[in-house]
Amino acid sequence: MKKSLEDYTRVMRGRYAQHTGKPARQKLLDEYCQTSGLERKYANKVLRGQRRRGPSGAPRGAGSRYTRSDLQVLKSLWLAAGQPCGKRLAGDMLKLWLRSWQKHHRAVSKAQRERLEGISAAQIDRELAPYRIAGRKRRIASSALATLQRGGGRALRTLGRDHARSP
């Protein structure tokens, strides 16, 4: 059935391309919808050749230009630097950490160093996203609230008294 539908679609696509008038195309579209059981809008896309081909869910876009070893080095640098965001890590900070890492761990080839030094902030964030700590706690501006969060009893009592006095 699928093979015959593909053959029929191929024939109808050729006929649809040859006919230029609106009434002729409407008739072809009606016939194709009746035969194939497809919705009119989708059938129109199929006959015009606008339907996306290939397996659905396949990764789109260009592949990564960074090798697995590049990403391992980048992850090590990122962890050593305290997991900063890509904006802070990219550029000069990355170069400094890379030089230090090379002294203490292992040498990196010139090509690998150039790839790592040229990586953008957004690409750093994309590549390191799976390794980020989920739900990191943010600092609280007020010291009393920070003490409260840590479980300090004195701040809790102080806040309770202030709250009780206010009208």
pLDDT digits (tens, 9 = 90+) for 89-126: 898 889 998 998 888 888 889 999 999 999 999 999 99
pLDDT at 80: 87
pLDDT higher than 50, residue 4: yes
Mean pLDDT over all residues of the chain? 79
What's the chain's Rg over C-alpha atoms?
A: 31
Give the pLDDT mean for 31-59: 81
Question: Could you tell me which of 20, 24, 22, 15 has the C-alpha nearest to residue 47?
Answer: 15
Structure tokens at 12: 């109808």
Higher local confidence (pLDDT), 132 or 125? 125
Q: Considering only 36-50, 77-91, 141-155, which range has the smallest mean pLDDT?
A: 141-155
pLDDT tier at 19, thresholds 50, 70, 90: confident
Beta-carbon contacts of 33 under 8 Å, excluding residues fewer than 6 positions away, are 39, 40, 43
pLDDT at 30: 93
Give the pLDDT mean for 5-30: 89
pLDDT higher than 60, residue 142: no
